[in-house]
Copies of this chain bind each other. A is one copy, B any other.
């Protein structure tokens, strides 16, 4: 790797692992002596990654520099920031520093992965300073849609680097203190060297609405409902759980919490003191069933149409405890994450079909997002006065909007860097430059399988799903390699069974003499496979106008 030639102390940042969203899941910060990693999250697969469970960042760069990696620093407890912590610690076992809520969620992951004993996770609080290697690191409180969200200020030999984490500026959050821009301005009293800031809503004008709007609307909707109320939300939205619990007290309903993550997060929220819920408010599903409908509120998961979630099971009428009935009021206290529109819509239609009334965020504000809009981002830029700027957490279009905004707020054009994953940006007080590009692919996780995106599995699955597969098998003589018997062709997902029998028999007849002829020539396997593929593929293509994927097996007899 090259480095710039002057002798000034430098700092490098390398975003990793965000699929379309740059630096979303992991950010590497590096000086000559030390590396710290900010966040280790997962992404959920996109539509063109069939059968993949989760996607994690490629961490080979950390392996190669393991002797300098000092710590994993966590900003907040969302899956896209902590979901890959076990994978990370298997590669580089260093201490993890995390705010309280994130720490509790990470411990649960490590327990499931049977890694708790060999891992060190330290709780950090806003305002604390930790010396890690030669770096001085301070976490500062941020408002976001999970409690104990933080940003991180890192004092490096080259200057102060600010990473906002995910954030918005809310002057009256339901849980926690309002955003303290004063602290941030104090840390950046000489101007930050580098600001890396959340870009998710950088295309949106104005200020983001406050959670207070939900505090007004949700209880009103609950109060107006005559029969049973079912609310679905994000499990990590602890403030939403508090709002719902308060509304239950006010409107004399018992609260029944369903869904593994919702139950788990409610428990953690209470343990950490974020939730203030009277002990007798919460009832089990069995108790809820024995109460009159107008005395019950059910809080569950499934706002994103996840197939195994509470609300989606209810919509399919296969939830163990709850059967949707006429006059149920269902409130979707969430917005739909882009990409989930189809399953969310499907579940709403199913719920309406079962007799429920469904209220979404489109009708009445039942949710506010947790990301800063343009005015808040300007405010942040003004408070930190960075020399260099790197937008993070957002698709390319959002990063571009954020760059434009930073430049209009005073960052010099040559000091604003729209990085892509793997770019190594080196900065010193004088100048900044992308000095290298490292391998920064994505690792696909499926069951126990882990492979990188250059692997053929996902490509093959894409092909399979469109045209199905045809298997061609034949026997050849172990001695002279000649064809024994007839080749056998079967298909799956290609043509309708009734039509396929005759078609495939004809394909066998077409292939047989060609195969026989080439087997006698003792050609290479790859060439032979190609001939089978062309012969069978052309035959089927002519007859069906579709080309299935063709796999060939030879049995030596």
Residues of A participating in the B interface, judged by any CB pair closer than 8 Å: 20, 46-47, 50-51, 203, 338-339, 341-342, 345-346, 348-350, 352-353, 358, 363, 395-397, 400, 446-449, 451, 455-458, 460-469, 471, 473-475, 478, 484-497, 499, 543-546, 549, 551-557
Contacts and interface: CB of A to CB of B under 8 A. Distances in A.
B339 A342 contact: yes
A412 to B, nearest CB: 19
A522 to B, nearest CB: 18
Contacts of A456: 496-497
Q: How many copies of this chain are found per oligomer?
A: 2
List of 9 A-B pairs having minimum Cβ-Cβ separation, nearest first: A473-B473, A465-B465, A447-B545, A460-B493, A50-B465, A471-B471, A51-B466, A485-B557, A464-B464
Contacts of A491: 551
Given A345-B395, A397-B358, A555 B446 contact: no
A470 to B, nearest CB: 9
B449 A556 contact: no
Contacts of A446: 546
A348 B396 CA distance: 9
A488 B448 CA distance: 24
A126 to B, nearest CB: 34
B345 A338 contact: yes
Contacts of A551: 469, 471, 490-492
Contacts of A363: 203
B488 A397 contact: no
A485 B449 contact: no
A349 B396 contact: yes
Contact of A485 (B447, B489, B555): B555
B495 A457 contact: yes
A297 to B, nearest CB: 22
A496 B556 contact: no
A484 B492 contact: no
A312 to B, nearest CB: 14
Residue among A471, A499, A549 with the highest chain B CB neighbour number at 10 A: A471
A401 to B, nearest CB: 9
Contact of A51 (B339, B345, B395, B468): B468
B449 A496 contact: yes
B544 A449 contact: yes
B544 A447 contact: yes
A492 B464 contact: yes
A391 to B, nearest CB: 13
Given A485-B555, A487-B555, A555-B486, A457 B46 contact: no
A400 B457 CA distance: 43
A545 B545 CA distance: 36
16 contacts: A47-B47, A47-B342, A51-B465, A51-B468, A51-B493, A338-B341, A345-B395, A349-B397, A461-B465, A462-B465, A464-B492, A469-B469, A471-B471, A471-B553, A484-B557, A490-B552
A463 B346 CA distance: 20
Contacts of A473: 471, 473, 488, 553, 555
Contacts of A50: 465-466
Contacts of A350: 396
A473 B447 CA distance: 26
A504 B47 CA distance: 29
A61 B315 CA distance: 31
A465 B464 contact: yes
Contact of A553 (B468, B488, B544): B488
Nearest to A355: B400
A473 B494 CA distance: 19
Contacts of A489: 553
Nearest to A20: B349
